[in-house]
């Protein structure tokens, strides 16, 4: 029988099999695990929660189901002792091929059905953040190829071993390798559970998907190669493994296919362009370099290519005094230096193979040394920015995409300790619909190239920590005597309008400034409040600039009733954290006392001022009281002896609920009680003002202990007993 | 009669539907215990009568669904095809109905026992709690009227058309989700999880169990309606229909 006829027969047979339908239904249910039980994405975002997690859970769990089916189907003819008959009709090689292709066809149909089934729920939950192309791409990039890989590997293991139990053990071992990882940077080892750190809602980048696709293609090549090898091992003439392989080697086309795909897979793995090939840990260089070379001015001209994710760039240095001997330039390992010229003449350079902490060294020597100064040193480089291996587990940094660009440090221009640099200037060409921020400050000067790009220019520091460009919108307004530039992704335009975010920011700034003191990061009556994407870890604040996370405006955050009565109140809560939080007064977190208590209390006070006492009582004080009452009535809080009997999982759940109630409900009530005892709102405001004024004496950022509950009691002149709610 | 009961029971207990529902009931019961009941219902202990009855109410939904699915089978096409043979036997239609209801009650009871045993294992292993005597009376009042009402109504509707039994199943499923919180809550899930909140608490803060008069009356109403429906089913002359 021809392969196509066999394929049709196999497809029909499989579609009539109850086992296939069971696997299909189970695979369709598997994404449900991603919503709560099996979340894969580290950073919280709506796209991660409602697209990434379900798809990745479905990918992993579904892959196991398809593998079980593949092994069961391979074993079927042997189990039923019908192999003699089937072998007489068609060769086992053709049968295996037809069966695998038929299973891959069905898994493809199931993927399509799966994407359609979860579509309405995802759309409803994600609201305006939903992007259809991104949604479907996740299924096609992660789910389908992984299921195929799983089918091929399971089939291979069975063909190689001809024993169900051995095939299962081999498969489990490979799954364990993927789930646990052998090396700490085993991004590519994760064949069944693709690793995605973050998906951003407002600062969408497709690079996590592109990286995912690359790993899928790599593993698909390896799996096809392994499957081709297993075809050679199909038992023939009642022979064992080795003799069967010997006979199978006569099938030259299969042998060539096996070699080609395995080699291709290994090459793709080894030569992957996304993560550098440096060590897994930071290598801190303790050797100090004397910057004896001097550069009066540095000009960096960078052109971004969002379609390919690459840059081409030129660094020009006006060298006043060259360094004597071999100097070092550090660049991102993904970049290649095309040429280094001095005064128009090409000079020799060599690049190290070693990647350290996300950069690679290139060495060059100016002819004539320090006596040959006053000329122009030019470095031309280009390439695709790679992620430092040491950072691969933390975040996706340094991307050049059509809607989002993030570059910094050695991914922008070369760094050197051998030269001290006077002034630096940056010229960067990016798509014209993106707004650039250089070290969190908006760039203002640009030249429209009339080709869909703009070249932005600005003076910059010697080390640019962060260049980001996205589709930002900016609202400029006055809050008191401070000009505020409130920047957010244009995706949140409607949300900002709906919750009156601009007015809320104004209210928060005015209220907190009037009651607690001027915000630290305001510089010369100016403040930039810049929203950052979920893929960026950590916050940032400096004179005149403060960042805030995109999750602040996501529908799930705005619906969090613990933080405020309405979406606007939740937003206010998050903004108040600029005073009570890492960027203001850093509070100790002891499970009851933390920055949350002060923030919720302040949010309540702002709500009282905005909407009146009745509203504040109904939606804040009464809610706090109800939650505290519920906590007091909880069986395990009343009976700690039974709490001790519970398994750790339940204890952790209760502790977590209690902690939430303590921080967000009980502590605001405690502060409210303190307010009564110290003499009312004005007296409390004065205390909080004093606390805020002392912020430089507290907090890890300043090298001190954080502000504790005992400190709060001292400021209030109260004791713990006096503030006891029970 | 007893022999036929034995055959019918054996047939039903060996059916895939019952075995599947037995497994589903067990998994669901353990899930409810491990996720909800373990935390205690309405601030009471996980092993309080309130928590236990909420748990039984939830699992009873599966039991009622199982019984109605089996009952629907009695009014299905296959059964109608063999009706001509069964009618030729000395067993009257009324006896047959009693017999079938008895078989269904055994199935229902087995499902309840399964849930109760799981709860006993859960309580004793986790909390070393073994005073199960307090559960008997509320459980009887919860389970028996529920069974009689559901099967009585199911038989009546099944006689009209098999699909009406499925409709009843869907309605009871919605009712079982616990949106009704007053004494007339058939499965008691809503009632047992809200009523304790209205009660005074003892010195340790626990709402003690009291047999609410309105609830007992409501159970008796369901019981009487169930019995009446059963009597009506027995009394109505059976008219065989074409398959």
Q: What is the pLDDT of residues A667-685, one digit of tens each?
A: 999 999 999 999 999 999 9
Closest chain B residue to the Cα of A654, Cα to Cα: B39
Closest chain A residue to the Cα of B51, Cα to Cα: A635
> Is residue B51 assigned to a domain?
yes
* Distance spanning both ends of chain B, measured CA to CA: 26
Look at chain B and report how many structural domains it folds into.
1
Quick check: helix, strand or coil at residue B45? coil
* Predicted local confidence at residue A162, as pLDDT: 82
A628 touches chain B (CB under 8 A): no
> Is residue B214 assigned to a domain?
yes
Stronger pLDDT, A536 or B212, i.e. the higher one: B212
B196 touches chain A (CB under 8 A): no
> Is residue B215 assigned to a domain?
yes
Q: What CA–CA distances, in Å, run from A184 to A41, A103, A187, A393, A629?
A: 17, 34, 9, 8, 46
Closest chain A residue to the Cα of B129, Cα to Cα: A642
A630 touches chain B (CB under 8 A): yes
User: Which pair of structure tokens corresponds to residue A217?
Assistant: 């293609």
Mean pLDDT of A510-514: 89
Domain holding B230, by residue range, is 2-238
CA distance B104 to B155: 12
Quick check: helix, strand or coil at residue A489? strand
Is the pLDDT confidence value at A340 over 90?
Answer: yes
What interhelical angle do B136-160 and B213-235 show, nearest 10?
A: 40
> Is residue B98 assigned to a domain?
yes
Please report residues of B whose CB lies closer than 8 A to that of A632: 205
Over the stretch A2-11, which tens digit does the pLDDT of each residue have? Answer: 888 999 999 9
User: Which pair of structure tokens corresponds to residue B97?
Assistant: 């109905």
Which residues are registered as beta bridge partners of A436? Answer: A469
> Is residue B105 assigned to a domain?
yes
A561 touches chain B (CB under 8 A): no
At residue B95 the predicted structure's pLDDT band, cuts being 50, 70 and 90, is: confident
A650 touches chain B (CB under 8 A): yes
- Least CB-CB distance to B126: which of A632, A638, A645? A645
Region of residue A522 (phi > 0: left; psi between -120 and 50: alpha; otherwise: beta): beta
* Predicted local confidence at residue A397, as pLDDT: 72
Please report residues of A whose CB lies closer than 8 A to that of B199: none
Which residues are registered as beta bridge partners of A380? Answer: A314, A339
* Predicted local confidence at residue B242, as pLDDT: 53
- For residues A254-280, one letter each, b for 16 or more C-beta atoms within 10 angstroms of the residue's C-beta and e for the rest, the string is bbebbeebbebbeebbeebbbbbebee
- Least CB-CB distance to A635: which of B40, B126, B128? B40
Question: Phi/psi of residue A93, each to 5°?
Answer: -65, -45
Quote the Cα angle for A345-A346-A350, to 5°. Answer: 150
Q: What is the mean pLDDT of chain A?
A: 86
Which H, E and C letters describe A301-368, residue by residue? EEEEECCCCEEEEEEEEEEEECCCCCEEEEECCCEEEEEEEECCEECCEEEEEEEECCEEEEEECCCC
Please report residues of A whose CB lies closer than 8 A to that of B197: none
CA distance A404 to A666: 41
* Predicted local confidence at residue B209, as pLDDT: 84
Q: What CA–CA distances, in Å, run from B3 to A76, A264, B6?
A: 42, 71, 5
Is the pLDDT confidence value at A286 over 60?
Answer: no
Closest chain A residue to the Cα of B122, Cα to Cα: A646
CA distance A328 to A365: 9
* Predicted local confidence at residue A563, as pLDDT: 63
Please report residues of A whose CB lies closer than 8 A to that of B40: 634-636
CA distance A685 to A694: 14
CA distance B208 to B199: 8
> Is residue B243 assigned to a domain?
no
Over the stretch A585-598, which tens digit does the pLDDT of each residue have? Answer: 889 988 899 999 99
Q: On the CB side of A558, how many CA atoms lie within 13 Å of its CA?
A: 18
At residue A600 the predicted structure's pLDDT band, cuts being 50, 70 and 90, is: very high
CA distance A133 to B7: 59
- Least CB-CB distance to B44: which of A632, A635, A647? A635
**Alpha helices per DSSP H over chain B:** 2-13, 16-35, 49-74, 77-86, 93-127, 136-160, 162-176, 189-194, 213-235
* A214 closest CA partner among A233, A190, A232: A190
CA distance B37 to B46: 5
* Predicted local confidence at residue A537, as pLDDT: 59
**Alpha helices per DSSP H over A522-647:** 555-558, 567-576, 595-611, 613-616, 622-633, 635-638, 640-645
Q: What is the DSSP letter of A86?
A: H
B204 touches chain A (CB under 8 A): yes
β-bridge pairing A541-542 and A545-549: antiparallel
- Least CB-CB distance to B127: which of A630, A638, A642? A642
- C-beta atoms of A646 and B206 within 8 A: no
Q: How many cross-chain Cβ pairs, A to B, lie less than 8 Å apart? A: 33
Query: Residues 391..450 of A with a Cβ closer than 8 Å to B: which?
Result: none
- C-beta atoms of A654 and B205 within 8 A: no
Stronger pLDDT, A24 or B76, i.e. the higher one: A24
User: Which pair of structure tokens corresponds to residue B5?
Assistant: 């009961």
Q: Does CATH place domain A290-470 in 3.50.50.60?
A: no
User: Which pair of structure tokens corresponds to residue A406?
Assistant: 């993030």
Radius of gyration (Cα) for chain B, nearest Å?
Answer: 19
Domain spanning A579-726, CATH architecture: Orthogonal Bundle (1.10)
CA distance A469 to A456: 11
CA distance A71 to B234: 55
* Predicted local confidence at residue A182, as pLDDT: 52
- C-beta atoms of A635 and B43 within 8 A: yes
At residue A535 the predicted structure's pLDDT band, cuts being 50, 70 and 90, is: confident
Is the pLDDT confidence value at B166 over 70?
Answer: yes
Mean pLDDT of A625-651: 91
- Least CB-CB distance to B43: which of A633, A645, A653? A633
Closest chain B residue to the Cα of A631, Cα to Cα: B43
* B237 closest CA partner among B83, B97, B94: B94
Over the stretch A98-147, which tens digit does the pLDDT of each residue have? Answer: 999 999 999 999 999 999 999 999 999 888 889 999 999 999 999 999 99
Q: Is the Cβ–Cβ distance between A428 and A333 less than 8 Å?
A: no
Interface-testing mutation among A18, A634, A635, with chain B (most B C-beta atoms within 10 A): A635
Over the stretch A444-471, which tens digit does the pLDDT of each residue have? Answer: 999 999 999 999 999 998 888 889 999 9
Quick check: helix, strand or coil at residue B39? helix
Mean pLDDT of A280-296: 69
**Best-predicted range by mean pLDDT (A15-24, A537-546, A575-584):** A15-24
> Is residue B50 assigned to a domain?
yes
Question: Phi/psi of residue A419, each to 5°?
Answer: -125, 140
Is the pLDDT confidence value at B1 over 80?
Answer: no
Q: How far does Cα B14 stand from its chain's mean position? A: 20
A651 touches chain B (CB under 8 A): no
Minimum mean pLDDT range among A17-26, A86-95, A645-654: A86-95
* Predicted local confidence at residue A447, as pLDDT: 94
At residue B129 the predicted structure's pLDDT band, cuts being 50, 70 and 90, is: very high
CATH of domain A473-552: 3.30.2010.30
* Predicted local confidence at residue A44, as pLDDT: 75
Quick check: helix, strand or coil at residue A561? coil
CA distance B102 to B1: 12
What is the residue whose two structure tokens read 């960067």? A428
- C-beta atoms of B43 and A636 within 8 A: no
Question: pLDDT exceeding 90 applies to what percent of chain A?
Answer: 43
Over the stretch A363-402, which tens digit does the pLDDT of each residue have? Answer: 998 888 888 888 899 999 999 998 877 666 655 578 899 9
* Predicted local confidence at residue A289, as pLDDT: 66
A626 touches chain B (CB under 8 A): no
Is the pLDDT confidence value at A645 over 70?
Answer: yes
- Least CB-CB distance to A633: which of B38, B46, B205? B205
Mean pLDDT of B1-28: 84
At residue B108 the predicted structure's pLDDT band, cuts being 50, 70 and 90, is: very high
Report DSSP letters for A638-690, one per residue: H-HHHHHHS-HHHHHHHHHHHHHHIIIIIHHHHHHHHHHHHTSHHHHHHHHHH
CA distance A455 to A129: 30
Closest-CA distance, B108 to chain A, in angstroms, reads 28
CA distance B165 to B70: 10
Mean pLDDT of A535-558: 69
Q: Is the Cβ–Cβ distance between A533 and A203 less than 8 Å?
A: yes
Stronger pLDDT, A574 or B99, i.e. the higher one: B99
Interface-testing mutation among B20, B38, B51, with chain A (most A C-beta atoms within 10 A): B38
Is the pLDDT confidence value at A519 over 80?
Answer: no
Stronger pLDDT, B42 or A186, i.e. the higher one: B42
Is the pLDDT confidence value at A315 over 80?
Answer: yes
Q: What CA–CA distances, in Å, run from A6 to A98, A101, A460?
A: 6, 10, 66
Mean pLDDT of A41-70: 91
* Predicted local confidence at residue A88, as pLDDT: 76
- Positions of CATH 3.30.2010.30 in chain A: 473-552
**Alpha helices per DSSP H over A438-564:** 493-498, 501-515, 555-558
User: Which pair of structure tokens corresponds to residue B47?
Assistant: 């092993």
* Predicted local confidence at residue A701, as pLDDT: 63
Q: How far does Cα A254 stand from its chain's mean position? A: 41
* A529 closest CA partner among A564, A588, A577: A577
* Predicted local confidence at residue A381, as pLDDT: 96
């Amino acid at each position: 029988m021809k392969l196509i006829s066999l394929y049709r027969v196999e497809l029909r047979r499989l579609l009539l099999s109850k086992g296939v339908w069971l696997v299909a239904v189970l695979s369709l249910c598997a994404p449900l695990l991603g919503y709560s039980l099996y979340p894969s994405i580290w950073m919280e975002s709506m796209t991660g929660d409602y697209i990434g997690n379900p798809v990745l859970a479905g990918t992993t769990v579904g892959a196991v189901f398809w593998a079980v089916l593949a092994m069961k189907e391979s074993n079927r003819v042997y189990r039923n002792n019908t192999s003699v008959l089937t072998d007489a009709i068609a060769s086992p090689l053709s049968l295996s091929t037809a069966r695998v292709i038929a299973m891959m066809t069905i898994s493809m149909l199931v993927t399509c059905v799966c994407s359609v089934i979860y579509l309405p729920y995802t759309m409803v939950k994600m609201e305006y953040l939903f992007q259809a192309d991104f949604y479907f791409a996740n299924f096609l990039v992660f789910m389908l190829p992984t299921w195929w890989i799983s089918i091929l590997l399971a089939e291979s293991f069975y063909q190689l071993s001809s024993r169900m139990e051995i095939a299962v053990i081999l498969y489990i071992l490979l799954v364990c390798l993927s789930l646990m990882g052998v090396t700490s940077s085993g991004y590519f080892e994760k064949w069944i559970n693709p690793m995605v750190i973050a998906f951003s809602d407002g600062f969408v980048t497709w690079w996590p998907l592109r990286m995912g696709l690359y790993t899928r293609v790599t593993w698909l090549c390896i799996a096809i190669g392994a499957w081709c090898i297993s075809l050679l091992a199909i038992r023939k003439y009642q022979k064992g493994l080795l003799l069967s392989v010997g006979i199978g080697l006569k099938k030259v086309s299969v042998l060539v296919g096996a070699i080609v795909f395995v080699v291709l897979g290994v090459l793709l793995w080894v030569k992957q362009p996304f993560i550098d090939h440096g060590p897994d840990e930071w290598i801190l260089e303790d050797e100090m370099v004397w910057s004896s070379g001097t550069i009066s001015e540095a000009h960096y001209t960078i052109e971004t290519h969002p379609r390919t994710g690459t840059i081409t760039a030129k660094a020009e240095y006006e060298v006043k005094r060259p360094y004597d001997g071999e100097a070092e330039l550090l660049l991102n390992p993904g970049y290649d230096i095309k040429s280094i010229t001095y005064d128009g003449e090409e000079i020799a350079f060599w690049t190290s193979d070693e990647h350290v902490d996300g950069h690679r060294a290139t060495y060059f020597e100016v002819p004539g040394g320090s006596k040959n100064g006053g000329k122009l040193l030019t470095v031309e480089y280009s390439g695709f920015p790679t992620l430092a291996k040491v950072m691969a587990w933390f975040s996706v940094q340094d991307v050049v995409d059509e809607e989002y660009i993030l570059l910094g440090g050695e991914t922008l221009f070369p760094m050197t300790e051998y030269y001290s640099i006077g002034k630096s200037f940056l010229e960067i060409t990016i798509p014209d619909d993106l707004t650039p921020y250089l070290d969190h400050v908006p760039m203002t000067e640009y030249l429209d190239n009339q080709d869909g790009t703009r070249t932005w220019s600005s003076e910059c520091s010697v080390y640019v920590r962060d260049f980001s460009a996205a589709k930002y919108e900016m609202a400029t307004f006055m809050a008191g005597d401070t000009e505020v530039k409130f920047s957010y992704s244009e995706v949140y335009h409607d949300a900002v309008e709906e919750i009156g975010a601009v007015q809320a920011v104004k209210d928060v700034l005015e209220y907190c400034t009037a009651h607690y003191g001027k915000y630290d990061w305001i510089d010369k009556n100016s403040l930039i409040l810049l929203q950052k994407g979920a893929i960026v870890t950590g916050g940032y604040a400096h004179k005149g600039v403060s960042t805030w996370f995109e999750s602040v405006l996501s529908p799930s955050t705005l619906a969090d009733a613990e933080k405020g009565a309405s979406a606007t109140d939740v937003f206010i809560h998050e903004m108040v954290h600029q005073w009570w939080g890492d960027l203001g007064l850093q509070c100790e977190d002891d499970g009851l006392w933390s920055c949350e208590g002060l923030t919720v209390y302040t949010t309540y006070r702002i709500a009282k001022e905005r909407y009146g006492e009745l509203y504040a009582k109904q939606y804040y004080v009464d809610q706090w009281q109800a939650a505290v009452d519920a906590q007091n009535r909880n069986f395990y809080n009343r009976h700690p002896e039974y709490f001790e009997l519970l398994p750790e999982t339940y204890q952790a759940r209760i502790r977590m609920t209690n902690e939430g109630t303590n921080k967000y409900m009980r502590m605001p009530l405690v502060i409210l009680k303190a307010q009564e005892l110290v003499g009312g709102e004005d007296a409390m405001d004065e205390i909080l003002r004093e606390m805020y004024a002392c912020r430089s004496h507290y907090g890890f950022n300043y090298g001190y202990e954080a502000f504790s509950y005992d400190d709060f009691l001292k400021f209030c002149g109260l004791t713990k007993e006096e503030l006891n709610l029970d | 009669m007893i022999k036929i009961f034995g055959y019918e029971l054996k047939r039903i207990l060996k059916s895939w539907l019952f075995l599947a529902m037995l497994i589903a009931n067990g998994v669901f019961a353990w899930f409810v215990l491990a996720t909800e009941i373990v935390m205690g219902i309405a601030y009471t202990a996980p092993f309080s009568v309130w928590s236990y009855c909420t748990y039984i109410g939830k699992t009873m939904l599966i039991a009622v669904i199982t019984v109605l699915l089996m009952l629907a089978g009695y009014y299905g096409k296959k059964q109608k095809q063999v009706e001509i043979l069964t009618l030729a036997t000395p067993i009257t239609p009324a006896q047959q109905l009693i017999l079938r209801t008895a078989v269904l009650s055994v199935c229902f009871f087995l499902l309840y026992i399964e849930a109760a045993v799981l709860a006993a294992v859960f309580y004793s292993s986790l909390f070393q709690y073994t005073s199960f005597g307090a559960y008997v009376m509320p459980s009887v009042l919860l389970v028996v009227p529920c069974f009689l009402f559901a099967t009585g109504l199911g038989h009546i509707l099944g006689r009209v058309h098999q699909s009406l039994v499925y409709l009843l199943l869907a309605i009871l499923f919605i009712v079982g989700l616990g949106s009704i919180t007053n004494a007339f809550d058939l499965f008691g899930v809503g009632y047992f999880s809200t009523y304790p909140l209205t009660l005074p608490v003892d010195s340790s803060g626990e709402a003690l169990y009291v047999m609410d008069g309105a609830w007992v009356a409501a159970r008796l109403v369901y019981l009487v309606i169930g019995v009446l429906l059963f009597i009506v089913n027995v009394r109505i002359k059976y008219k065989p229909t074409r398959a």
